[in-house]
Amino acid sequence: QKEVEQNSGPLSVPEGAIASLNCTYSDRVSQSFFWYRQYSGKSPELIMSIYSNGDKEDGRFTAQLNKASQYVSLLIRDSQPSDSATYLCAVGGTASKLTFGTGTRLQVTL
């Protein structure tokens, strides 16, 4: 069974710091990787997608992928209180489906 693992948190970081969120996956043939942000009571919204090994940057967000280690991470620079949310890691394989982790709750403190 395909699994996506995340630390549930909460991960607490001070405002302005770098938040580092991690995710591991079990299916070696996974081809696409996503980070979604979910505010309490709301639906998930896509932040980043990454398909190749290495780093991908978009504004304050950087996604990192290491397929050999089956590891994907999300870095949030200059964390803001508005970044406080649950971050979901999702992994896609050969079929048109995504498997989600249970999410890491991030708290950015003032």
Partner 1 sequence: SQTIHQWPATLVQPVGSPLSLECTVEGTSNPNLYWYRQAAGRGLQLLFYSVGIGQISSEVPQNLSASRPQDRQFILSSKKLLLSDSGFYLCAWRPLQGAGNTIYFGEGSWLTVV
Binding site for partner 1 (CB under 8 A): 31-32, 34, 42-46, 49, 51, 88, 92, 96-103
| Residue 21, both tokens | 């969120």
**Could you tell me whether strands 61-66 and 71-76 are parallel, antiparallel, or unpaired per DSSP bridges?**
antiparallel
What is the C-alpha to C-alpha distance for residues 28 and 23, in angstroms, rounded to an integer? Answer: 14
Kindly tell me which of 48 and 79 has the beta carbon lying closer to partner 1: 48
Q: How far is the CB of 18 from partner 1 (least distance, A)?
A: 25
| 10 cis-preceded (ω within 30 degrees of 0) | yes
Q: How far is the CB of 101 from partner 1 (least distance, A)?
A: 6
| Residue 87, both tokens | 């971050």
Kindly tell me which of 80 and 102 has the beta carbon lying closer to partner 1: 102
Q: How far is the CB of 69 from partner 1 (least distance, A)?
A: 20
